[in-house]
């Protein structure tokens, strides 16, 4: 989730609809300026007993952030607490229960992306060796209840933790017990954004399936392969889901603005503090009728903040965010952007991907999304067949897109090699969660503690 940084720039009051459209329209970039942003989260645990460390305890989360300063990271404070770091590799931030996230810098190619991820993992492992902590690459805590987990001292999280139980049964699980990998990509125009949004939203269930890595909620299997994805099905229906309007004629920036105006607010940030506005209307804010700030109009930064509080499968801000993958190890951190860059950053690949999914109806898209958390690649495709029937074709399209980019490293390798973990899934027919279940029912003999040996960075 986003980390708030205070800016010295003048923050205009919103008085026109053009200001609401501006963040999305302002994201347009020519192809030569397109970049790749990758975010990945990991669980932090004590190596001695697998407990999740609190913020304040010795060698806990705060001390870990402080120690990362030796690698050139600078602290970001909130209320006197260090809650994030900034540096040349982007930001390191905290999820609500202390999950550690790298929000990487915008990079030119996947070689740089994978090198950035590897640097970050080396740094946190070095800190972990000194503090007795490890880092787990999964989509869900395999053996923790909500009550066993600490809470980080961030103002927006306090508001969300209060609000989540009002709107869904699993919002607290989303905040406290999940980890994800995410890819952020650019577009050149409104029409380019629309095509990329539609393709990535339609194929997001395939990414969820290929990266399914969360089969053990609270210590044992319960039939799900991506329980993280299932959690999103009852987190908050007003700000999640498959966004049917994206596939409607006339979709563009204006329609997304209307959607965001209907997403209930969480907060307003003023004078270094978060004001609880959970459930209130941004439309009322625009009319000067927000009950917590009567008579005040929103600033442009309030709208940017609000854009970060919707959590659909694909999100639009000043770039597109692909949000459907479970957390996982380093090679999968590299594989997710490889999939989406291959599909979206070459026009021939993008057109081929759209041809594959453009005939799907919304009922079929929703059924696919609903089926993937349990069935993964066996989920039903719109119009018949199973998701696995198109997985190889989608990877081949992505491979052709990466090959066309011709972004090579110092020894002449292009970016196609980063798809290798996904090729293995398709070749074997087994997603990561199914491999974990085989171990659990086989050589582990039901001893889930073994997962810390297999899935730690």
Residue of 389, 418, 423 lying closest to 405 (CA atoms) = 418
Q: How many residues does the chain have?
A: 457
**Across 12-18, average pLDDT:** 98
Tens of pLDDT, residue by residue over 290-320, are: 999 999 999 999 999 999 999 999 999 999 9
| Rounded Cα–Cα distance for residues 125 and 143 (Å) | 22
| Rounded Cα–Cα distance for residues 405 and 396 (Å) | 14
Residue of 153, 83, 150, 93 lying closest to 120 (CA atoms) = 93
Residue 204: the pLDDT is: 98
Instruction: Give yes or no for a contact between 218 and 170, defined as CB atoms under 8 angstroms apart.
Output: no
| Rounded Cα–Cα distance for residues 233 and 312 (Å) | 10
Q: How much is the mean pLDDT over the chain? A: 97
Whether pLDDT at 17 is above 70: yes
Residue 269: the pLDDT is: 97
Residue 432: the pLDDT is: 98
pTM summary value = 0.97
Residue 411: the pLDDT is: 97
Whether pLDDT at 7 is above 60: no
DSSP for 267-306, please give it: EEEETTEEEE-TT--HHHHHTT--TTSTTPPPBHHHHHHH
If pLDDT is split at 50, 70 and 90, which confidence band does 124 have? very high
| Rounded Cα–Cα distance for residues 449 and 373 (Å) | 23
Instruction: Give yes or no for a contact between 27 and 115, defined as CB atoms under 8 angstroms apart.
Output: no
If pLDDT is split at 50, 70 and 90, which confidence band does 10 have? confident
**Across 363-377, average pLDDT:** 98
Residue 2: the pLDDT is: 60
Tens of pLDDT, residue by residue over 147-164, are: 999 999 999 999 999 999
Encoding tokens for residue 346?
């070459």
Tens of pLDDT, residue by residue over 189-220, are: 999 999 999 999 999 999 999 999 999 999 99
**Across 117-124, average pLDDT:** 98
Residue 5: the pLDDT is: 60
Give the residue extent of every domain in the chain. 17-263+310-454
Percentage above 70 pLDDT, the chain: 98
Whether pLDDT at 9 is above 90: no
Whether pLDDT at 444 is above 90: yes
What Å distances lie between residue 297 and 11, 99, 114, 258, CA to CA?
Answer: 12, 35, 43, 18
If pLDDT is split at 50, 70 and 90, which confidence band does 282 have? very high
Tell the CATH topology of 17-263+310-454. Creatine Kinase; Chain A, domain 2 (3.30.590)
What Å distances lie between residue 162 and 94, 155, 175, 239, 280, CA to CA?
Answer: 18, 11, 12, 16, 14
Residue 370: the pLDDT is: 98
Tens of pLDDT, residue by residue over 220-256, are: 999 999 999 999 999 999 999 999 999 999 999 999 9
What Å distances lie between residue 125 and 152, 337, 439, 450, CA to CA?
Answer: 21, 23, 25, 19
Encoding tokens for residue 39?
């975010």
């Amino acid at each position: 989730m986003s980390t708030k940084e205070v800016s010295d720039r003048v923050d205009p009051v919103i008085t026109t609809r053009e200001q609401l459209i501006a963040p999305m329209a302002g994201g347009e970039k020519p192809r030569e300026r397109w970049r790749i942003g990758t975010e990945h989260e990991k669980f932090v645990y004590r190596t001695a007993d697998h407990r999740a460390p609190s913020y304040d305890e010795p060698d806990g989360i705060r001390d870990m952030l402080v120690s990362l300063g030796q690698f050139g990271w600078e602290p970001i404070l909130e209320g006197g607490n260090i809650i994030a770091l900034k540096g040349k590799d982007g930001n390191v931030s905290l999820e609500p229960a202390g999950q550690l996230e790298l929000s990487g810098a915008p990079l030119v190619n996947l070689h740089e992306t994978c090198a950035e991820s590897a640097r970050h993992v080396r740094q946190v492992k070095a800190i972990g060796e000194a503090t007795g902590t490890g880092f787990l690459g999964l989509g869900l805590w395999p053996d923790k209840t909500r009550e066993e987990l600490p809470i980080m001292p961030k103002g927006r999280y306090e508001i969300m933790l209060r609000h989540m139980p009002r709107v869904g049964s699993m919002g607290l699980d989303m905040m406290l017990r999940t980890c994800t990998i995410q890819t952020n990509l650019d577009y050149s125009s409104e029409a380019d954004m629309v095509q990329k949004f539609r393709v990535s939203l339609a194929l997001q269930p395939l990414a969820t399936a290929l990266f399914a890595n969360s089969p053990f909620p609270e210590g044992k299997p319960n039939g799900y392969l991506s329980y993280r994805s299932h959690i999103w099905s009852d987190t908050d229906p007003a700000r999640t889901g498959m966004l049917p309007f994206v596939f409607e004629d006339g979709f563009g920036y204006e329609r997304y603005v209307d959607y965001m105006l209907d997403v209930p607010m969480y907060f307003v940030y003023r004078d270094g503090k978060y004001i609880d506005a959970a459930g209130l209307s941004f439309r009322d804010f625009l009319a000067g009728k927000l009950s917590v700030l009567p008579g005040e109009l929103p600033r442009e930064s309030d709208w940017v903040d609000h854009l970060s509080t919707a959590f659909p499968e694909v999100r639009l801000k000043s770039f597109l965010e692909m949000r459907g993958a479970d957390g996982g190890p380093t090679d999968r951190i590299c594989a997710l952007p490889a999939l989406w860059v291959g599909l979206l950053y070459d026009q021939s690949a993008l057109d081929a991907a759209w041809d594959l999914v453009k005939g799907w109806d919304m009922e079929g898209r929703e059924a696919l999304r609903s089926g993937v958390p349990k069935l993964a690649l066996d989920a039903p495709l719109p119009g018949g067949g199973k998701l696995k029937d198109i997985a190889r074709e989608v990877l081949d399209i992505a491979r052709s897109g990466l090959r066309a980019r011709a972004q090579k490293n110092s020894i002449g390798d292009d970016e196609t090699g980063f798809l290798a973990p996904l090729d293995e899934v398709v070749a074997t027919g087994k997603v990561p969660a199914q491999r974990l279940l085989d171990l659990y029912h086989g050589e582990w003999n039901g001893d889930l503690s073994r997962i810390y040996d297999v899935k730690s960075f």
